[in-house]
Structure 1
Amino acid sequence: MGELAVQCLRHLEACDFESMRAMCTESATVWHNDGKGNQTIDEKIAQLKPLADTVGSLRFDITRQFQGEHEVLQQQVLRLTMPDGSRSEVHAAMYFRFDGDLIDRMEEYAYEMGPA
């Protein structure tokens, strides 16, 4: 399960939203600590797609990972580089729940650190 969670983030790094979506159940949901509540995976992907045009590169560095039978909890740092060379970091804890080999639920608590 841990490798599947990492693979999902690698697809996001590559802006390969189709492959990311294929890793999720039809009814997958996403929660983020932005106060907006739950989203479907398709709503989340639609929100992420414009990121591909505004970010030079992004990289998830996994710092710790815990695995249960059908779930993964990990700490990670998202490192963003903008086209002008500026950088920022987002520190986060992310939870993945699986239904078989597919992601059924993602939850992320993130804290932006600002310029790196």
Structure 2
Amino acid sequence: MDMRKNIGEMATRCLRRMESCDFEGVRAMCTETATVWHNDGTGDRTIDEKLEQLRPLAGAVGSLRFDITRQFHGANEVLQQHVLRMTMLDGSRSEVHAAMYFRFDGDLIDRMEEYAYGMGAA
């Protein structure tokens, strides 16, 4: 299999694990020293810190889906655009449009960066 196609599929698999709140599965896809940056002003975090921040989401969201609109592959990196569609337990819905970058070290994710903006309730 073409490595570029493979890392694109791995990036998608990571998001599918996020959708199902499989945080241990996400962690297993990352290097020990993986970092995450988000445009929320908090700067770089370890993957463990980011996943700990996301854990409360599991109890508040009825469903969550990443709809990938475009994906580009480099030698060891993936850049994509997606829309995160969330339905909360109270039935309210929202969308977050984002660009996300994944850098790989071998077959593990070593870096994630996400620039996102919310669209509010649908």
TM-score, length-scaled by structure 1:
0.99
| Two-structure CA RMSD over aligned residues (Å) | 0.4
Equivalence for 1:75: 81
Match of 1:30 among 24, 33, 36: 36
Which consecutive residues of structure 1, in runs of 5 or more, have no partner in the other structure?
none
Distance, in Å, in 1 between the alignment partners of 2:41 and 2:23 is 24
Distance 1:33 1:18 in 2: 24
Q: Does 1:90 align with 2:90?
A: no
How far did residue 69 of structure 1 move? 0.7
Cα separation, 1, equivalents of 2:43 and 2:31? 19
Aligned residues: 116
Match of 1:66 in 2: 72
Q: 1:43 — aligned with what?
A: 49
> SS state of the match for residue 45, structure 1?
helix
Q: Residue in 1 aligned with 2:107?
A: 101
The whole-number CA distance in structure 2 between the counterparts of 1:34 and 1:16 is 23
Seq. identity, %: 78
Give distance in 2, aligned partners of 1:41 and 1:82: 25
Please state how far the C-alpha of 1:84 moved relative to its aligned partner: 1.3
In structure 2, runs of 5+ residues without a counterpart are 1-6
CA–CA distance in structure 1, aligned partners of residues 95 and 30 of structure 2: 26
Large movers: runs of 4+ above 6 Å: none
Q: Post-superposition shift, 1:10?
A: 0.3
Give the structure-2-normalised TM-score: 0.94
